[in-house]
Amino acid sequence: MKRPWAVVPLFIVILILLALPRVVLLPRLTAELKGELAAALETAELDLTVEAPWGWELLMGRIPSLALTARDAGLEGVDVSQLNLEAEEILFQPWTLFTQHELVLTSFSSITGSLLVSESALNEAFWREVDPSRRLWLEISPQGLAVLGTVGIWNMDVSVRVLGDVVVENGSALRFVLMDLAVQDARVPELLLDMLRDSFDFTVDFGEFPLPVEMQAVELLEHKMEIRIGGRQ
């Protein structure tokens, strides 16, 4: 008759085999994914948590959930102060990630998050894309996005203040929509406002995000804006 303690080594082996994917595979996948996302977001400050209770899910190309926080990131040259993101039920090609260091998603349940962009970062993008002379600048407040500065009219430098709103365009860009314009503290008539509207119409494109999400809404705060992002399949 076999003694009970004789099967103990077998149980130990089974436990080791069950725990091996979580102990070995989970840290490796997390490191691979963290490196790829950090490179795509142009940041050295990225925290990533991948939840896989057994670890075997990863061998099947499934991530039950993950949470991402990145600071001082960049998207198409636009500085992002902070990025927060949560995702659930992600299906991917595991061997492509491990061998080619490339995340290829095949499906996911939902991805939600937000981007925080400061007033100074938005100004840098505005000066680069719209006004290299830096005679105009942006101010963000809960009342709207304002463009202030001076413009040349009939060989004269005239102070202007343009108040507008920010809307999402094509899921990856923010467009400034003019609402009101004042010249030398005098409000411009509606007819002239329509003529000048195109002159102050500009778009800041954040490019393609490394995960399948789109910009959904913008909230203007004091000297910064919060952009809600998300995706669902």
Report residues of the chain scoring pLDDT below 70: 1-24, 152-156, 181-200, 232-233
Nearest to 58 by CA among 46, 69, 50: 50
- The per-residue pLDDT for 66 is 92
Euclidean distance between CA atoms 143 and 189, whole angstroms: 21
pLDDT at 182: 66
Amino acid identity at 174: L
Cα–Cα distance for residue pair 227/233, rounded to 1 Å: 21
* Residue whose token pair is 């996005």: 145
What pLDDT sits at residue 1? Answer: 46
Q: Tell me whether residue 10 is exposed, middle or buried, using C-beta atoms within 10 angstroms of its C-beta: 0 to 12, 13 to 18, 19 or more.
A: exposed
At 122, the amino acid letter reads L
Would you state the pLDDT for residue 148? 86
